[in-house]
Structure 1
Amino acid sequence: MLKNLKNSKFLLKVFRSIFVVMGWMPKKKKLVMFESFHAKQYSDNPRAIYEYMKEQHKDYQLLWSIDKQSIKLFDDFQVPYVTRFSLQWFLTFPRAKYWVNNVRLPGWMPKPEGTVYVQTWHGTPLKKLGLDIEQIHMPGTKTDTYKRNFINESRNWDYLVSPNAYSTEIFKRAFHYDGQVIESGYPRNDVLSIPSEDVVKSLKQKLGIPEEKKIMLYAPTWRDNEFHKKGKYKFNFKFDLENWKREFGSEWVLLSRMHYLIAENFDFSAHEGTVYDVSSYPDIRELYLSADLLITDYSSVFFDFAILNRPIVFFMYDLETYRDELRGFYMNIQEDAPGPIVQTEEELFQAINELEQSNVQSNPTFKSFKTKFSSLEDGHATKRVVQAFLK
């Protein structure tokens, strides 16, 4: 019912009107509102900024704007929140002095005068973004409309957080953004600069993973052209889990982390004790810290995982299609990837076996990659971001 109401043009006009009126009210100058991934997660850069401010800026009121379906998650973390589209939300969100978000806000939400909107975004880009995408393949989305919506959104940003100089150049062009950029490293990555054995032990206990097992993390992205309907994407494994189990199951477990846009609920019950679905695990950083090896494709996760100096395998079974037809890349991944690119199950398993015994830090390509993309990841990015937007 609520979903139908939110899709009603009339109701969106009503929402907008209420939002505008409340935006005229006096600002709550010490109130910071946070959202992550369409108000559905307690994660990413907004979480890191929230947790830093909670400790270092106790005079500020910190609130999360959340989707109704995420109430249990935020209750479990004991994080203060207001539910999107509730009366309290309309009385609060438009009056906050600061907004911290990592994706676009709904188009009907105008930014009130005097609000400081901090857009953290959510990854160093490999695949093309925003205005740089030549043709949109997502269902129900026209290319011109998609790009116009991006322009309308980015003009509201007062600050845009960038993890490195490479991203700054791309973000400014792809988002049509000429405002202030905080080139700081990513707040979410601060914890990766000091790996913790306690995190690994805790995660294994939570998931029931035997202490002696090594962890392989599989974290692929979504495909624009593989979908059930608008907003509901699908994904199929391109390597056989039984084969993986025979090859690696005695020493390893596989953690499967699907992109938030992939709607499938995967059933790994046939592989219990070997394959674990961690798609809804609240904090991917704990998965990074616990993983001994990463398998990914075009997801930005590899930029973050490389900070840990651990092996990465790129399982790009559809490389030519994804690069040449769907998205296009900003870098020559075949030359610059900090790990081998494979396209078949056989190649994947072979690469894993070879990397297991290798020291990635001795690889010149890996070292060059880290110099270009991770030089600012020193554990203090969050401090730099908060100091910039509170000045």
Structure 2
Amino acid sequence: MKVVFNSFGGRYNDNPRAIYEALVARGTEMDAVWLARPDLRADFPAGVQTVETWGPDARAAVESADVIVSNDGISREWDKQPTTTYLQTWHGTPLKRLHRDAVWAPEGRLELVMQDIARWDHLLSPNAASTPHLRSAFGFTGPVHETGYPRNDVLSAPDRDRRRARVRAALGIADHVTAVLYAPTWRDDLVLADDGPAHTFPVDLGDLARGLGPDHVLLVRLHAMVSDRLEVQGTAPLLDVSRHPDISELYLAADVLVTDYSSTMFDFAVTGKPIVHFTYDLEHYRDDLRGFYFDLAEIAPGPLLTTSEQVLTAIAGLGGRPWMPTERYNRFRERFCSLEDGAATERVLQLFFPTDGHPGRPGDTPVPTNDEPRR
């Protein structure tokens, strides 16, 4: 069985990584190949077979695969074989409108995405609330499997405290230091513009980090769409963690999340730790750029703030005492995190890599799709 894995155009992370590592741990016999960016090859463990994204070997790999596991579109020229099963895991619970549903998109971008969607055989959904929006965004009529996201299993794993300690030690964060993870999403009109910056920050990050006060550190995680095109400048207590291989480890290492409209809020909520929203351009993003599937003011697990002073005040208000989730936060988790129970990867393996069935063909699986309501 040949399985090709792809994550964010050549990275070793996210849902494909969780699925791959579970298959390896189970001892599944497979010829596994990862699409890898040459400059990120060092992020792949020794012994992992890779081919360069997007060289001729990559096209040969996907065209000869029995199963393809990807968390994003493979929007290049290649011919999918009738015997290949393409599992699209996607990479986030959608707050912001996607693809066909977005308020704005540059000319030609949608058509390129739709070419790849036509190849998909199955799509994963993190929760029932997301399923109809994923269908609408992609125009996908095939099976959508509500499994939760495999990448989030580590957030509920029995060894999560050990993982947290290891990551913090690697980043040089002492036990008594409060780590604030700032993970904003990207802005389409900047990234996809013909000229100008790929991203702009509403504040000086160095000033924001220093404003947090003693015994704090600001971890800045840029979106993959901009992390290669923008340099995070500043000194301690500021750390640029945009190149850290897997954001799930940063969720464990952090004590509070600051974000805007990013799907990081849905993943981080699994940890039960506080979330603050820095929504300085809310009206523009919601009304002119993307639009939302959900009313952010209604569902947000944390406060919506528009200035850095408000963000600093909110973080300071958390104090050193243990934080207790609010009723609003708990409603958010019930709606969007009910399947993030640490068993999402196993559900995906039961579907697509059964020990006693055909890989990639979940015809008689007991795990339901959205067309088979959970009981």
Amino acid at match of 1:65: L
Q: Normalization by structure 1: what TM-score?
A: 0.84
| Aligned match for 1:61, one of 15, 22, 31 | 31
Residue 50 of structure 2 corresponds to: 81
Distance in 2, Cα, partners of 1:284 & 1:232: 28
In the TM superposition, 1:212-251 aligns within 5 A as 212-227=176-191, 229-230=193-194, 234-251=198-215
Output one character per residue of 1:210-268: Cα deviation in whole Å (capped at 9) or x when no partner: 33212110000111112485599622322334543443241111110000111444243
Q: In the superposition, relative to structure 1, how do residues 187 and 233 fare at CA in structure 2: closer, same or farther (>3 Å)? A: farther
Distance in 2, Cα, partners of 1:224 & 1:100: 26
Distance in 1, Cα, partners of 2:197 & 2:150: 29
Residue 99 of structure 2 corresponds to: 130
**More displaced 10-residue stretch of structure 1: 192-201 or 320-329:** 192-201
| Aligned match for 1:94, one of 50, 63, 66 | 63
Residue 82 of structure 2 corresponds to: 113
Output one character per residue of 1:189-212: Cα deviation in whole Å (capped at 9) or x when no partner: 011113622222222222222332
Matched, 1:266 2:231: yes
- Offset at residue 49 of structure 1 (A): 0.6
Aligned length: 352
Asked if structure 1 preserves the Cα contact closer than 8 Å seen for 2:273 and 2:325, the reply is: no
Distance in 2, Cα, partners of 1:67 & 1:367: 39
Distance in 2, Cα, partners of 1:232 & 1:42: 30
Provide the identity percentage: 39
Residue 252 of structure 1 corresponds to: 216
Amino acid at match of 1:147: L
The structure with more radius of gyration: 1
The structure that is helix-richer by fraction is 1
- Offset at residue 118 of structure 1 (A): 0.3
Residue 38 of structure 1 corresponds to: 9
Asked if structure 2 preserves the Cα contact closer than 8 Å seen for 1:36 and 1:46, the reply is: yes
Q: In the superposition, relative to structure 1, how do residues 271 and 132 fare at CA in structure 2: closer, same or farther (>3 Å)? A: same
Distance in 2, Cα, partners of 1:233 & 1:128: 23
Distance in 2, Cα, partners of 1:237 & 1:358: 30
Residue 310 of structure 2 corresponds to: 347
| Aligned match for 2:168, one of 204, 213, 218 | 204
Asked if structure 2 preserves the Cα contact closer than 8 Å seen for 1:215 and 1:252, the reply is: yes
Distance in 1, Cα, partners of 2:323 & 2:337: 15
Amino acid at match of 2:18: A
Q: In the superposition, relative to structure 1, how do residues 107 and 308 fare at CA in structure 2: closer, same or farther (>3 Å)? A: same
Distance in 1, Cα, partners of 2:300 & 2:322: 16
**More displaced 10-residue stretch of structure 1: 341-350 or 116-125:** 341-350
Q: In the superposition, relative to structure 1, how do residues 369 and 119 fare at CA in structure 2: closer, same or farther (>3 Å)? A: same
Residue 153 of structure 1 corresponds to: 116
Q: CA RMSD of the aligned region, Å? A: 2.1
Distance in 2, Cα, partners of 1:243 & 1:130: 36
**More displaced 10-residue stretch of structure 1: 306-315 or 378-387:** 378-387
- Give the secondary-structure state (helix, strand or coil) at the position aligned to 1:239: coil
Output one character per residue of 1:119-162: Cα deviation in whole Å (capped at 9) or x when no partner: 000000010001111321xxxx31xx333333332221111010
Distance in 2, Cα, partners of 1:123 & 1:364: 24
- Offset at residue 186 of structure 1 (A): 0.3
Asked if structure 2 preserves the Cα contact closer than 8 Å seen for 1:191 and 1:379, the reply is: yes
Output one character per residue of 1:288-321: Cα deviation in whole Å (capped at 9) or x when no partner: 0010000000110000000011000000000011
- Offset at residue 91 of structure 1 (A): 4.2
Residue 366 of structure 1 corresponds to: 329
Distance in 2, Cα, partners of 1:371 & 1:233: 38
Q: In the superposition, relative to structure 1, how do residues 254 and 70 fare at CA in structure 2: closer, same or farther (>3 Å)? A: same
Asked if structure 2 preserves the Cα contact closer than 8 Å seen for 1:131 and 1:174, the reply is: yes
**More displaced 10-residue stretch of structure 1: 241-250 or 340-349:** 241-250
- Offset at residue 81 of structure 1 (A): 1.4
Asked if structure 2 preserves the Cα contact closer than 8 Å seen for 1:54 and 1:62, the reply is: no
Amino acid at match of 2:6: E
Q: In the superposition, relative to structure 1, how do residues 150 and 82 fare at CA in structure 2: closer, same or farther (>3 Å)? A: closer
- Offset at residue 32 of structure 1 (A): 0.6
- Offset at residue 361 of structure 1 (A): 4.5
In the TM superposition, 1:282-361 aligns within 5 A as 282-356=245-319, 361=324
Distance in 2, Cα, partners of 1:220 & 1:284: 13
Structure 2 residue ranges without an equivalent (≥5): 353-358, 363-375
Q: In the superposition, relative to structure 1, how do residues 96 and 310 fare at CA in structure 2: closer, same or farther (>3 Å)? A: same
Q: Normalization by structure 2: what TM-score?
A: 0.88
Q: In the superposition, relative to structure 1, how do residues 277 and 246 fare at CA in structure 2: closer, same or farther (>3 Å)? A: closer
- Give the secondary-structure state (helix, strand or coil) at the position aligned to 2:51: strand
